[in-house]
């Protein structure tokens, strides 16, 4: 049996590390370009940026699928067979080989077209959303769908095409499993939503508690304060502004999140910041010595989303959090929030109010937004729904699931960036993340019952520490399944 | 004789275009990473960023020096022999072949080490300058010097090592020519500086005219207004803030400049913005259809610098410009500048006052700063001066040339980013730019004598139009020499 230490000296292993490092550098470089595209890039920078991202994607794909990479992985798989499965060496070879098997199935031409098309579509989506004109976005979305179908067919699938794309985010899960889980959740949720909505009085009572004028600069200072408090390290990251909040990482020392502000509502930016902070804390908690390898990532998208939902919903919508944050918010917005107490805030941010926008949805109705997207993208990919019919299908599904009809596409089918990005199969992970967040939080509370009181004091270290030890430090060396099983 | 149109259909020419396009994309991607490094990157992002830039540089170098590139260029050089020398096709092959000859002389290992070392050194320079500790920067500078010497030896040289590096910025020029030009300029300048300084009274009279408190946000708005007025297109670019102002381009639709602000002095940011605007207008004026080729660049660094010096000195320090900008400045800084007239501003921004900082120097003493840097970097590269002795040598030279001794290294040897960037041989172009700016402006005035009065009205189109037609539109298809000869 080879010792892990001995394998580190193996020239093949070293060559693998170096080759994976170059691939990782190109991925990080592309992430910088994509971040800039969403934050600071001037409008006419888009066409050249799309070409640059396509070139980086093509080179990355070429280097990762080079025959030499396959040879090295094959040889090293033998040499790591007897190593502990959770050692860095065995995990690295296993995970790299899994990604490699998928990557070699995508022809370089398709990888490049994909990157170029999605970058372009993202730009057009921003314009279409701003101008509320689905027609501007439709041809780009149609191309994305066509390419996603082609991609799925190259990746191969058994039961249905959507499986091949879902695998990217939730390895080992099938579309049918997701569908079944969603149907059983939906049955429970719809009853719950109806029951809560019938108690209309308490909702209305707290509804106006958080109304006011909240200047953008003050909101920005408040979100930075909260980020600092929960443990985000600004020496190793930053927060910017973008139309659709996201988190990205260029390395252990550079993790960035974005947010957006509405001056009539500060809880949106605050909770969105906590959501992205969950992703960002995960990225900042990955083992820095794994940088430049495919282990320097979250275990799965669902696990990543468990972290964001944890901080947004289980922390950010708790009574204890509002005992901590309300005094800060009062200082940030002098004259506002004077007569409000933490209990009213707690009730206001937990009000169940079916709405049009996923990212503003309450915990209860949020998953209904996911079910809708999952079903529509599944239909698009199976070819049972045409892009031109999508707005109507969207609006009909909204009406049936949430009892609301979007007055325009900006508040309907154009609200999310995902399909522009080409992220088909991504939405289910949000709901999976909701479920995992509760599982992980319950376990953390069992081991550390003082967490809520610490949160009320602004001490987030016990909760973050638990997540660091049980989730973050494993990077992608465990699958989501293994990770959750070990943690709970 | 092959017609240019026929050559465009040539598969070899098309392959050359595609290969150059990929190389250009990598260069643009690296430019985005470098821009972010100077503007928004958190401090601990530096090590990973250095590796990413090194990887991009290595891949770019590998792709540009691939044997296939040499074959294509050789074949196409024959096929373009009979084309007009200033046609796109002939120029492209000629310029690409010149760059290729240089690039193949640099071993990939050295190219990567260079990129990594200079990225790291730039980061350390920022810290060293902030903390005023040359010792922090010294080992990184020493490595840069060692690598630059190695680079020069690979590039080959005849008379002296510095020639090989100068060639990068001013093709065809020798160190001795620069030295002779500088000696003759120095003889004239020193007398002039002495004469002006003896008239101490008028200088002091206007000295205080532009004193006051100028809030950063108001300065920012003013510089954006001026950028808009001179013709910078914000749909195709932006302005940010960085410790050392610079301009960069990621394509025809994305040209970015940076500036920096001092709240006790608004002319520094204003003139620095005009300087960078000169570079940025040049980049925005390049033929967009030449994007992704090596012709999509300035003709030489000296010509690039002629544009920045033109806008900074010949426009920004003119009476007419102050008739235009003073009313804007008064609105930007209410309560300040009330009793000042354009003539006083004109005199204040043209006051000759030997100072420690190159970027704040007046037109007259500016070149003395360049002479100093040219001589020191020449000594460093020849091995006649050690990095540890550099601060003393700097201070002694400042005393002899400008009669001033820097009180610390932050205001001495640490003030410029160039050596941290590895840009040895770059400084002479500033003075060459000063000379070319006057040549070009004189010609423009001869053809369009209304330019100064237009400037006073805030109409910069006649001057910009002339530069577009005679300088910008040629890209790198002409050498600096040819371009100036044609223009004047």
Do the Cβ atoms of A32 and B32 come within 8 Å? yes
> Cβ(B377)–Cβ(B161) under 8 Å?
no
Instruction: Give the Cα separation of B61 and B472 in Å (integer).
Output: 27
Do the Cβ atoms of B48 and A235 come within 8 Å? no
Instruction: Give the Cα separation of B18 and B292 in Å (integer).
Output: 9
C-alpha to C-alpha distances, B328 to A53, B208, B229, B308, B348, nearest whole angstrom: 41, 19, 11, 22, 17
The pair of three-digit structure tokens given for residue A105, joined into one six-digit string? 């199935």
pLDDT in tens, B255-291: 999 999 999 999 999 999 999 999 999 999 999 999 9
Could you say which of B29, B55, B59 has the minimum Cβ distance to residue A52? B29
CA distance A228 to chain B (A): 14
Kindly state the average pLDDT of the residues B284-305: 96
Using alpha carbons, select from B348, B343, B339, B357 the residue that is nearest to residue B267: B348
pLDDT > 60? residue B200? no
Q: How many CB atoms lie within 10 A of CB B384?
A: 8
Task: Identify residues of A whose CB sits under 8 angstroms from chain B CBs.
Answer: 21-22, 25-26, 28-30, 32-33, 36, 40-49, 51-52, 55-56, 59, 234-238, 240, 250-254, 291-292
Residue B172: per-residue pLDDT:
79
Task: Identify residues of B whose CB sits under 8 angstroms from chain A CBs.
Answer: 21-22, 25-26, 28-30, 32-33, 36, 40-49, 51-52, 55-56, 59, 234-238, 240, 250-254, 291-292
Could you say which of B25, B33, B44 has the minimum Cβ distance to residue A253? B44
pLDDT in tens, chain A (488 residues): 456 677 888 999 999 999 999 999 999 999 999 999 999 999 999 999 989 999 999 899 999 999 999 999 999 999 999 999 989 999 999 999 999 999 999 998 898 899 889 989 998 999 999 999 999 999 999 999 999 999 999 999 999 999 999 999 988 789 999 999 999 999 999 888 888 777 755 555 566 778 899 999 999 999 999 999 999 999 999 999 998 899 999 999 999 999 999 999 999 999 999 999 999 999 999 999 999 999 999 999 999 999 999 999 999 999 999 999 999 999 999 989 988 999 999 999 998 888 999 988 888 899 999 999 999 999 999 999 999 999 999 999 999 999 999 999 999 999 999 999 999 999 999 999 999 999 999 999 999 999 999 999 999 999 999 999 999 999 999 988 899 999 98
Among residues B112, B276, B312, B320, the one annotated as catalytic is: B276
Residue A202: per-residue pLDDT:
53
Residue A260: per-residue pLDDT:
93
Do the Cβ atoms of A42 and B236 come within 8 Å? yes
Residue B112: active-site member? no
Backbone angles phi, psi at B260, to 5 degrees: -145, 155
Among residues A124, A168, A276, A297, the one annotated as catalytic is: A276
The pair of three-digit structure tokens given for residue B89, joined into one six-digit string? 């096709």
> Cβ(B209)–Cβ(B344) under 8 Å?
yes
Backbone angles phi, psi at B105, to 5 degrees: -80, -15
Q: Give the confidence band of B6 by pLDDT, cuts at 50, 70, 90.
A: confident
Instruction: Give the Cα separation of A126 and A115 in Å (integer).
Output: 17
Residue A1: per-residue pLDDT:
47
CA distance B300 to chain A (A): 23
Using alpha carbons, select from A464, A483, A128 the residue that is nearest to residue A285: A464
Do the Cβ atoms of A43 and B235 come within 8 Å? yes
Do the Cβ atoms of B25 and A250 come within 8 Å? no
Q: Report the residue of chain B nearest A48, measured CA to CA.
A: B251
Instruction: Give the Cα separation of B348 and B351 in Å (integer).
Output: 5
Mutate to test the interface with B, among A17, A26, A40 (most CBs of B within 10 A): A40
């990212």: which residue's tokens? A359
Q: What is the DSSP string of B189-246?
A: HHHHHHHHHH-HHHHHHHHGGG-S---HHHHHHHHHHHHHHHT--GGGEEEEE-SS--
Instruction: Give the Cα separation of A264 and A432 in Å (integer).
Output: 31
The pair of three-digit structure tokens given for residue B214, joined into one six-digit string? 């100028």
Do the Cβ atoms of A254 and B59 come within 8 Å? no
Mutate to test the interface with B, among A27, A31, A52 (most CBs of B within 10 A): A52
CA distance B59 to chain A (A): 9
Instruction: Give the Cα separation of B84 and B88 in Å (integer).
Output: 9
Do the Cβ atoms of A48 and B251 come within 8 Å? yes
pLDDT in tens, B133-177: 999 999 999 999 999 999 999 999 999 999 999 999 988 789 999
Residues 6+ apart with CB under 8 A from A451: A444, A445, A462, A463, A466
Do the Cβ atoms of A29 and B25 come within 8 Å? no
Instruction: Give the Cα separation of A463 and A440 in Å (integer).
Output: 11
Phi-psi region of B151 (alpha: psi -120 to 50; beta: other; left: phi over 0): alpha
Instruction: Give the Cα separation of B60 and B22 in Å (integer).
Output: 8
Do the Cβ atoms of B29 and A41 come within 8 Å? no
Kindly state the average pLDDT of the residues B315-336: 96
Residues of chain A contacting residue B25, judged by C-beta atoms under 8 Å apart: 51-52, 55-56
Mutate to test the interface with B, among A18, A29, A60, A258 (most CBs of B within 10 A): A29
Q: How many helices (H) and strands (E) does chain B have?
A: 22, 3
The pair of three-digit structure tokens given for residue A83, joined into one six-digit string? 């190593």
Do the Cβ atoms of A250 and B43 come within 8 Å? no
Mutate to test the interface with B, among A56, A217, A233, A253 (most CBs of B within 10 A): A253
Do the Cβ atoms of B52 and A250 come within 8 Å? yes
Per DSSP, helices labelled H in B310-458 are 319-332, 342-349, 363-382, 390-402, 418-421, 428-447, 451-456
Do the Cβ atoms of A235 and B291 come within 8 Å? no
Q: Report the residue of chain B nearest A27, measured CA to CA.
A: B52
Residue B202: per-residue pLDDT:
53
Residues of chain B contacting residue A238, judged by C-beta atoms under 8 Å apart: 40, 42
The pair of three-digit structure tokens given for residue B354, joined into one six-digit string? 């030997």
Backbone angles phi, psi at A253, to 5 degrees: -100, 10
Q: Report the residue of chain B nearest A18, measured CA to CA.
A: B55
DSSP assignment letter at A314: I
Residues of chain B contacting residue A250, judged by C-beta atoms under 8 Å apart: 45, 48-49, 52
Kindly state the average pLDDT of the residues B341-362: 90
Residue A203: per-residue pLDDT:
53
Please work out, in degrees rounded to the nearest 5, the angle formed at the alpha carbon of residue A464 by the alpha carbons of A458 and A467.
155
Q: What is the DSSP string of B335-377?
A: TSSTT--HHHHHHHHT-----S-GGG--HHHHHHHHHHHHHHH
Using alpha carbons, select from B213, B224, B319 the residue that is nearest to residue B266: B213
Rounded to two decimals, the pTM is 0.90
Order the strands of the B247-249 sheet from edge to edge.
Answer: B237-241, B255-259, B247-249
Q: What is the DSSP string of A425-482?
A: T-THHHHHHHHHHHHHHHHHHHH-TTHHHHHHTT--HHHHHHHHHHTGGGTTSS-HHH
CA distance A367 to chain B (A): 35
pLDDT > 70? residue B3? no
Do the Cβ atoms of B56 and A236 come within 8 Å? no
Long-range (24+ apart) CB contacts under 8 A made by B334-338 are B336/B212, B336/B213, B336/B214, B337/B210, B337/B212
Largest CA distance in chain B: 70
pLDDT > 60? residue B395? yes
Mutate to test the interface with A, among B24, B25, B34, B108 (most CBs of A within 10 A): B25
Residues 6+ apart with CB under 8 A from A260: A241, A242, A243, A244, A245, A268, A269, A272
Could you say which of B28, B40, B55 has the minimum Cβ distance to residue A26? B55
Do the Cβ atoms of A250 and B59 come within 8 Å? no
CA distance A291 to chain B (A): 9
CB pairs under 8 A between A and B: 121
Round the CA-based radius of gyration of chain A to a whole number and report it: 23
Could you say which of B25, B47, B251 has the minimum Cβ distance to residue A45? B251
The pair of three-digit structure tokens given for residue A314, joined into one six-digit string? 């289980």
């Amino acid at each position: 049996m080879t010792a892990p230490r001995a394998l580190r000296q193996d020239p093949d292993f070293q060559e693998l590390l170096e080759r994976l490092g170059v691939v990782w550098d190109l991925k990080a470089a592309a992430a910088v370009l994509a971040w800039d595209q969403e934050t600071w890039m001037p409008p006419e920078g888009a066409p050249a940026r799309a070409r640059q991202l396509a070139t980086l994607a093509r080179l990355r794909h070429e280097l990762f699928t080079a025959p030499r990479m396959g040879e090295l992985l094959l040889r090293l798989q033998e040499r790591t067979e007897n190593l502990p499965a959770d050692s860095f060496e065995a995990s690295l070879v296993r995970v790299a080989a899994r990604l490699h098997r998928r990557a070699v199935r995508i022809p370089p031409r398709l990888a490049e077209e994909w990157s170029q098309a999605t970058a372009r579509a993202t730009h057009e989506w921003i314009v279409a959303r701003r101008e509320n004109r689905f027609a501007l976005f439709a041809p780009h979305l149609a191309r994305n769908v066509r390419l996603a179908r082609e991609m799925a067919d190259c990746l191969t699938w058994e039961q249905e095409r959507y499986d091949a794309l879902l695998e990217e985010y939730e390895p080992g899960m099938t579309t049918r499993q997701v569908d079944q889980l969603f149907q059983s959740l939906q049955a429970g949720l719809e009853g719950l939503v109806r029951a809560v909505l019938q108690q209309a009085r308490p909702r209305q009572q707290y509804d106006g508690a958080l109304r006011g004028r909240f200047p953008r600069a003050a909101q920005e200072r408040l979100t930075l304060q909260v980020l600092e408090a929960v443990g985000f390290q600004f020496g190793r990251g930053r927060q910017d502004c973008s139309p659709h909040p996201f988190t990205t990482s260029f390395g252990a020392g550079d993790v960035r999140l974005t947010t957006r502000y509405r001056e009539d509502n500060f809880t949106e930016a605050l909770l969105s910041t906590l959501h992205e902070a969950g992703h960002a804390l995960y990225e900042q908690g990955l083992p820095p010595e794994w940088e430049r390898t495919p282990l320097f990532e979250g275990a799965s998208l669902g696990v990543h989303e468990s972290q964001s939902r944890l901080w947004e919903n289980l922390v950010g919508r708790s009574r204890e959090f509002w005992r901590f944050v309300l005094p800060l918010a009062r200082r940030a917005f002098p004259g506002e929030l004077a007569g409000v107490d933490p209990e009213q805030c707690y009730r206001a941010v937990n009000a169940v109010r079916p709405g049009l926008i996923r990212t503003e949805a309450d915990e209860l109705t949020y998953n209904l937004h996911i079910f809708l997207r999952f079903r529509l993208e599944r239909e698009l990919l199976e070819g049972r729904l045409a892009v031109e019919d999508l707005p109507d299908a969207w609006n009909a599904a909204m009406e049936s699931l949430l009892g609301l009809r979007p007055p325009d596409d900006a508040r309907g089918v154009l609200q999310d960036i995902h399909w522009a990005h080409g992220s088909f199969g991504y939405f289910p992970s949000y709901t999976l993340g909701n479920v995992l967040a509760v599982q992980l939080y319950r376990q953390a509370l069992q081991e550390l019952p003082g967490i809520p009181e610490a949160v009320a004091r602004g001490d987030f270290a016990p909760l973050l520490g638990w997540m660091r030890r049980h989730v973050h430090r494993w990077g992608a060396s465990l699958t989501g399944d293994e990770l959750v099983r070990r943690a709970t």
